[in-house]
C-alpha cells in the first residue's frame, strides 16, 4: 500500500517534551515505521518549521518525511496553524502529482482538514480515501480548559466536520468513541487502534539511573497545566505524613535548554509551588530528555504518576509499564484502558492529591505489590501494545476504507465542511 500521513505540527523527527511535541510525534513516527516494516511505502507530510530542514528526509527504505512549505519556516503554536492548512494541502497534492497514495491518514483535526482538501480536490478527477485519528478532541479540551483553551473558534464546527467527512476514523480508546458519538459522528465507521510502545527501547532489561533518595516518583510529559504535575507535588507532603519522606519527585519534560525552561510559565509555577511547600530539595525538574535516555529513568522509579485532568491516550503509562514500573493513573480517557486498576497500577480520581498520596503510600509500603503490578504491566504492554500490533489494526481500517471507496460509497456528509 502507498500511504500518506499528514501531521501538520507534530513532526516524527522533532525533539519531544516541548509544549507542542509529545505523544502525536511518537505515534506518527512509530506507526509509520511499523507500517513500512510491514512492506508499505509511507510518506509523512509535516509543515516546515525551520529553514534549515531539507525538503525530504529518507528515514528508511520505505519511509520518508517531507517538509511542506506552508507559512513562515519557523515554529508557530499549533493553535495558530489553521489558516495554513490550504497551503499544506496544496503542497501535499503537488507532491502526489500523478502518483496518488492508496490512503491518506490525517493526525489531529487540522491535518484532517488538509487531508480532505488534498484528497478531494475539485476538478482533480480523483478521491483518495481519508482516515482520521484525532489524538485530542476540542469538545473534551473545552470541557476541561474552558476559557484557557486557545484552539481557534472554528474548531467547534470544523472538527466534527472532519469526523463526518472522513471515510474512516481510528479512535485510540473506548472513551474517545463515546466522545465522537456525542459529536454526532456515525460510530459504524470508527475502529479502535490504541497507541503503542517501542518494546525494543522500553523494557526491564538494562540499567536504571542512580537516584539520590530512597524512593523516586516520576512524572513525564509536556509541561502544560492539564497534565496535573502540580497535583503530584501537592501529594508529597501528604506522603511524608504517611511516613515516606525520603522521596524525590523527578519531573521530566518541558521544551529546550535551561534558558527556555527558566522562562516557561508552567515551570515557574511548579517550582514556585515546590518552594511554597518547602520541597525544593525533593522536587527535580529535569527538562527535556532524549528518547534513548528515557528507559533508564523509568527503571529508576518506584512508581510513575500520570495525573492529567483528561488524557486522549497517554503513551507515558505504557512506557512505564513496559519498563516494569507500576503506574498511579487518574482514571480518565485512555488511561482507563491502558492501566488496569490493582492489576498494573492504581487508579485515582482526577485532580485529587490525597488519592495520589494514598496510592503512592500503598506502593512504597508494599514492595511486593509494587513488583507484582510492575510485572503485570510489562506483560500487558508486551502482549497488547506493540506498534506491530497497532499497525495491523490500522491496516485493517485502511483496507476497509479502500474497499468502501472502490465499491463507490461516497461519504454521505462529504459536503459538511
Please give the residue ranges that form the binding site for ligand UDP (CB under 6 A): 16-17, 22-24, 26, 220-222, 252-253, 288-289, 291, 294, 313-316, 319
Beta strands 168-171 and 130-133 are parallel
- CB of 198: closest distance to ligand UDP in angstroms? 9
- CB of 220: closest distance to ligand UDP in angstroms? 5
- CB of 254: closest distance to ligand UDP in angstroms? 7
Nearer to ligand UDP, 171 or 220 (CB): 220
Nearer to ligand UDP, 129 or 295 (CB): 295
Nearer to ligand UDP, 173 or 315 (CB): 315
Cβ contact 404:103 at 8 Å: no
Cβ contact 135:32 at 8 Å: no
Strands laid side by side in the 56-60 sheet: 56-60, 63-68, 41-47, 2-6, 103-107, 130-133, 168-171, 190-192
Q: How many angstroms separate the Cα of 37 from the Cα of each of 96, 197, 220, 303, 326?
A: 22, 16, 29, 33, 31
- CB of 226: closest distance to ligand UDP in angstroms? 9
Nearer to ligand UDP, 372 or 393 (CB): 393
- CB of 267: closest distance to ligand UDP in angstroms? 13
Nearer to ligand UDP, 23 or 101 (CB): 23
Give the CB-nearest residue to ligand UDP.
22
CA angle, residues 127, 132, 134, in degrees to nearest 5:
150
Q: Cα(374)–Cα(115) distance, rounded to whole angstroms?
A: 40
Nearer to ligand UDP, 41 or 284 (CB): 284
- CB of 359: closest distance to ligand UDP in angstroms? 19
Number of residues written out for the chain: 417
Q: Cα(170)–Cα(115) distance, rounded to whole angstroms?
A: 15
Q: How many angstroms separate the Cα of 35 from the Cα of each of 2, 200, 305, 374, 398?
A: 10, 16, 31, 29, 11
Amino acid at each position: 500500500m502507498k500511504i500518506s500521513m499528514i501531521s501538520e505540527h507534530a513532526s516524527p523527527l522533532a525533539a519531544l517534551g516541548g509544549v507542542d511535541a509529545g505523544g502525536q510525534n511518537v505515534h506518527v513516527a512509530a506507526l509509520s515505521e511499523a507500517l513500512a516494516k510491514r512492506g508499505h511505502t509511507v510518506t509523512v507530510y509535516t509543515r516546515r518549521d525551520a529553514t534549515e530542514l531539507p525538503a525530504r528526509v529518507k528515514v528508511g527504505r520505505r519511509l520518508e518525511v517531507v517538509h511542506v512549505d506552508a507559512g513562515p519556516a519557523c515554529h508557530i503554536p499549533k493553535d495558530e496553524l489553521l489558516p495554513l492548512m490550504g497551503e499544506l494541502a496544496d503542497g501535499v497534492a503537488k507532491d502526489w502529482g500523478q502518483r496518488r497514495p492508496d490512503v491518506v491518514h490525517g493526525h489531529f483535526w487540522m491535518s484532517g482538514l488538509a487531508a480532505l482538501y488534498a484528497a478531494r480536490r475539485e476538478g482533480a478527477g480523483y478521491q483518495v480515501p481519508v482516515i482520521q485519528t484525532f489524538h485530542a478532541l476540542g469538545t473534551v479540551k473545552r470541557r476541561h480548559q474552558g476559557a484557557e483553551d486557545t484552539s481557534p473558534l472554528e474548531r467547534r464546527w470544523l472538527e466534527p466536520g472532519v469526523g463526518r467527512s472522513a471515510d474512516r476514523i481510528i479512535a485510540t480508546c473506548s472513551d474517545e468513541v463515546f466522545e465522537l458519538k456525542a459529536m454526532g459522528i456515525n460510530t459504524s465507521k470508527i475502529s479502535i487502534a490504541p497507541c503503542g510502545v517501542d518494546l525494543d527501547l522500553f523494557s526491564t532489561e538494562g540499567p536504571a539511573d542512580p537516584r539520590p533518595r530512597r524512593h523516586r516518583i516520576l512524572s513525564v510529559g509536556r509541561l502544560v497545566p492539564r497534565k496535573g504535575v502540580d497535583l503530584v507535588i501537592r501529594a508529597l507532603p501528604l506522603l511524608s505524613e504517611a511516613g515516606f519522606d525520603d522521596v524525590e519527585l523527578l519531573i521530566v519534560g518541558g521544551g529546550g535548554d535551561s534558558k527556555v525552561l527558566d522562562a516557561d510559565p508552567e515551570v515557574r509555577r511548579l517550582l514556585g509551588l515546590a518552594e511554597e511547600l518547602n520541597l525544593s530539595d525533593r522536587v527535580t525538574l529535569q527538562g527535556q530528555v532524549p528518547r534513548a535516555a528515557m528507559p533508564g529513568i523509568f527503571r529508576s522509579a518506584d512508581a510513575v504518576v500520570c495525573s492529567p485532568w483528561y488524557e486522549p491516550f497517554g503513551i507515558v503509562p505504557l512506557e512505564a509499564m513496559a519498563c516494569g514500573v507500576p503506574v498511579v493513573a487518574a482514571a480518565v480517557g485512555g488511561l482507563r484502558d491502558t492501566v488496569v486498576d490493582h492489576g498494573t497500577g492504581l487508579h485515582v480520581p482526577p485532580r485529587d492529591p490525597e488519592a495520589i498520596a494514598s496510592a503512592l503510600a500503598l506502593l512504597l509500603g508494599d514492595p511486593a505489590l509494587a513488583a507484582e503490578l510492575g510485572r503485570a504491566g510489562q506483560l500487558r504492554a508486551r502482549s497488547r501494545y506493540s506498534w506491530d500490533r497497532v499497525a495491523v489494526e490500522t491496516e485493517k481500517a485502511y483496507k476497509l476504507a479502500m474497499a468502501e471507496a472502490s465499491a463507490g460509497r461516497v461519504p454521505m456528509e462529504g459536503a459538511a465542511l
